[in-house]
Structure 1
Amino acid sequence: MAAVKSCSVCLRESTLQFPRPNRGDHYKRTSAEDIKSLRLITAIKTPYLPDGRFDLEAYDALVNVQIVNGAEGVIVGGTTGEGQLMSWDEHIMLIGHTVNCFGSSVKVIGNTGSNSTREAIHATEQGFAVGMHAALHINPYYGKTSLEGMVSHFDCVLPMGPTIIYNVPSRTGQDIPPRVIHTIAQSPNLAGVKECVGNDRVEQYTDKGIVVWSGNDDQCHDARWSHGATGVISVTSNLIPGLMRKLMFEGKNSELNSKLLPLIDWLFQEPNPIALNTALAQLGVVRPVFRLPYVPLPLAKRVEFLNLVKKIGRENFVGEKNVQVLDDDDFILIARFKPKPVHAKGRIALWQKVEKKAYNLCGKLIEL
């Protein structure tokens, strides 16, 4: 597959650009049926700059390598992508950026769920407005609600477009039982369920014709080939997309699954995305920057990852640099954004540069 060109540079050059709209496939209305067939969806990591802002250049490279290695969809701003640490402005910007740069090559599924129905409605409206193909919705967490409240919550967001419901009781504190899913399955916009309860639950749904993606990487092989799951929404594919594609596309492969289980166990020894963030920094594909409250794994665990990479083969992992252990001092922990100050002289120079670009652009438009 051909690599996709990064869009980060064009975003940094100037805000005063008027590109012709790219009326590609990602601008066509996506249906739930288009989402139901996806076998490998990566819950993509969000990398950061040392001041805490998004590192869009590194992000584009991460998404691109997923596409090149056969991922069919990405979850933007999910748990792995640290949507819980983003403002809604950041969240929607990243969804829009992903659609603009990669929407013709991969399905962009925006995590616009919330424990507040009002927020979920607003975020989902914005997500579809910037072009996402589908929404990911969790059940209201912490405060929880009744089963009837869950149904009402999902009924408010489902009419907006294709939707994947995400059930992860270990994080929300409340299971979404089959009764709720069977009720909302009447909506034509329900693409399916990301299910983390286990493969018995997966089979309950697939037997009824409801599409399911395994939310547990350690169970996804059996979910796919023995319990009827369509595929997986994966964390591990951030690191080894080609091998995860093989696991989902090429039939039952217990040998490969067993080979990958030690890596998967390592990834989930602490709450996700702590280990993934650590691993990607060790591979040199993201800066070793963490938004608190996430912190890197300790030295001994980083050494374990180095050995796992050697055992599985460096060529199967993302990036091209040698894997490193990294020192504790190499990691940067961000509690608040710390953008570099722009002094008055710098502001004037920047504004003059923007004015000049705008003037030249207006001249070209007049000529047209």
Structure 2
Amino acid sequence: MTTLTKNSSGVFPIAPTPFHPDGRVDVASIDKLIDAYLAAGATGVTVLGILGEAPKLEPDESLDIVQRFTKGFGSLPVVVGVSAPGFAAMRLLTRKAMDAGAAGVMIAPLPSLRTDDQIIGYYHQAIEAIGTDIPFVIQDYPLTLSVQMAPKVIRQIVQAQPSCVMLKHEDWPGLEKISTLRAYEAEGSMRRVSILTGNGGLFLDFEMERGADGAMTGYAFPEMLADVVRLQMEGERDAAHDLFDAHLPLLRYEQQQGVGLAVRKYVLAKRGIIACDAQRKPGSALSEKARQEVDYVLKRVSRVDPRASFRSA
């Protein structure tokens, strides 16, 4: 079984959960999604995250999704989102996911947490509940979760919890946070953890230069993310930025609050990676005007990156 480590790097796409129009999980599309991620150069994957509509799933459905991804990704790591209002549910899903072959779990703070002590205490209790033998990821996503984690708080969690091996960094603006955390490591006041970034990849070009190890996000062209990460690691700065800039119109459009998942599923469906763009209720849907706008943006992106062209579809 692959284990998540402090040196994990590359691109871990956040997988959406494909549904049929009637709300059933589309297992055939899950298999196609796995194939597409592997072809794109993914070095791991994350399932049952916010993008995966995890709260809308039945426990058996969640476990089946984990099993399909762990089987499909083979020796590559699968991270499972286990965030829950209570620790009993978190512990149960964690143990079942790890038994199914997951490499680690991702834990987001409860939105009600406000003080530094509350945040640090929450992670202490969460790790106490799931077990100190489980590698875990801190999800730092204040834009959605409304929990502000200062670098010193992340440092305290990392130092207090040896099983913490990764930070999913989604603060915005967050470039200085990455620099501060890497400076802590350089001075020896914080041990190393992997830093993968989210926010749809909207700042990936510069996040890599600040010390990120890659991306953990759901942008509909994971191969672009993989290329940018690879080019930055190879020192091809201009090439990385040129490719990233070509995708900026779609990255920006995806970042709209409330419709981001709808945009991503629409594009994935156009690419033939999932059968349809349905969300399980309650969910949002793109208007016809919005679909036309996304099509226009894709056409503009395809002028530089032909992978965004659907003329032959």
Range into which the TM-score falls when normalised by the shorter chain: 0.7 to 0.9
Aligned residues of 2:228 and 2:243 also touching (Cα < 8 A): yes
Provide the residue aligned with 1:171 in structure 2.
144
User: 1:126-174: CA deviations, max 9, x gaps?
Assistant: 1111110111111122476723432323432461321111011122221
Tell me the residue number matched to 2:81. Answer: 111
- Whether 1:130 and 2:80 are equivalent positions in the alignment is no
2:307 — aligned with what? 316
Q: Is the 8 A contact 1:277 1:296 kept in 2?
A: no
Q: Which structure would you say has the larger RCO, counting Cα contacts within 8 Å and 6 or more residues apart?
A: 2
Equivalent-residue separation in structure 2 for 1:283 and 1:151 (angstroms): 39
Q: Distance in 2 between matches of 1:183 and 1:154?
A: 15
- Aligned match of 2:211: 228
1:291 is aligned, of 247, 260, 280, to 280
Task: Work out whether residues 125 and 160 of structure 1, in 8 Å CA contact, stay in contact via their aligned partners in 2.
Answer: no
The gaps in structure 2 that reach 5 residues or longer are: 186-192
Structure 1 regions of 5+ residues with no counterpart?
Answer: 1-27, 323-368
Equivalences for residues 342-357 of structure 1 within 5 A = none
**What's the counterpart of residue 190 of structure 2?**
none
Match of residue 253, structure 2, among 251, 260, 266: 266
Q: How does 1:141-180 map to 2 (within 5 A)?
A: 141-142=111-112, 146-156=118-128, 157=130, 159-180=132-153
List per-residue Cα deviations over 1:213-247 (Å, max 9, x = no partner). 1122111110002x1111111211xx222221111
Secondary structure class of the residue paired with 1:166: strand
TM-superposed deviation, 1:195: 1.2
Q: Which amino acid letter does the alignment assign opposite residue 231 of structure 1?
A: G
Q: Hey, what's the Cα distance between the residues in 1 that align with 2:310 and 2:133?
A: 37
The answer to whether the 8 Å contact 2:166/2:194 transfers is yes
Q: Is the 8 A contact 2:262 2:277 kept in 1?
A: no
Instruction: Provide the aligned C-alpha RMSD in A.
Output: 2.3
Q: How does 1:1-368 map to 2 (within 5 A)?
A: 28=1, 30-33=3-6, 36-104=7-75, 106-142=76-112, 146-156=118-128, 157=130, 159-186=132-159, 187-197=161-171, 198-209=174-185, 210-216=193-199, 217-225=201-209, 227-236=210-219, 239-251=220-232, 252=237, 253-271=240-258, 272-284=260-272, 285-313=274-302, 315-317=306-308, 322=313
Give the CA deviation at 1:263.
0.6
Scaled by the length of structure 1, the TM-score of the pair is 0.72
* Partner residue, 1:329: none
Would the alpha carbon gap of residues 128 and 320 (structure 1) be closer, same or farther in structure 2, given more than 3 Å must change?
farther
Please say if residues 158 and 189 of structure 1, whose CA atoms lie closer than 8 Å, have aligned partners that are also in contact.
no
- Counterpart of 1:208 in 2: which secondary structure? helix
Distance 1:246 1:29 in 2: 24
Aligned in 2, Cα 1:167/1:320: closer, same or farther, shift over 3 Å? farther
Residue of structure 1 in register with 2:188 after alignment: none
Q: Provide, for residues 326-353 of structure 1, a one-character-per-residue CA deviation record: whole Å limited to 9, x for no partner.
A: xxxxxxxxxxxxxxxxxxxxxxxxxxxx
Q: Is the 8 A contact 1:193 1:211 kept in 2?
A: yes
TM-score by length of 2: 0.84
Cα displacement (A) at 1:192: 1.4
Match for 2:44: what amino acid? G
Aligned partner letter, 2:134: G
Offset, 1:29: 5.2
Q: d(CA) in 2 for partners of 1:86 and 1:319?
A: 32
Give the 3-state SS of the residue equivalent to 1:291 in structure 2: coil
Q: Does structure 1 retain, via aligned residues, the 8 Å contact 2:108–2:139?
A: yes
Q: Would you say how many aligned residue pairs link Structure 1 and Structure 2? A: 289
1:134/1:161 contact within 8 Å kept: yes
Instruction: Give the structure 1 partner of residue 189 of structure 2.
Output: none
Question: What is the deviation of 1:100?
Answer: 2.0
**Alignment-mate amino acid for residue 213 of structure 1:** L
Counterpart of 2:167 in 1: which secondary structure? Answer: strand
Instruction: Determine the structure 2 residue equivalent to 1:363.
Output: none
Once the two structures are superposed, what CA deviation does each residue of 1:103-145 show, in whole Å capped at 9, x if it has no partner? Answer: 23x3211111223223222211111111101111111224767
Give the match's secondary structure for 1:289: coil
What one-letter code is carried by the residue in structure 2 that aligns with 1:190? Answer: C
Cα distance between partner residues in 2 of 1:111 and 1:89: 15
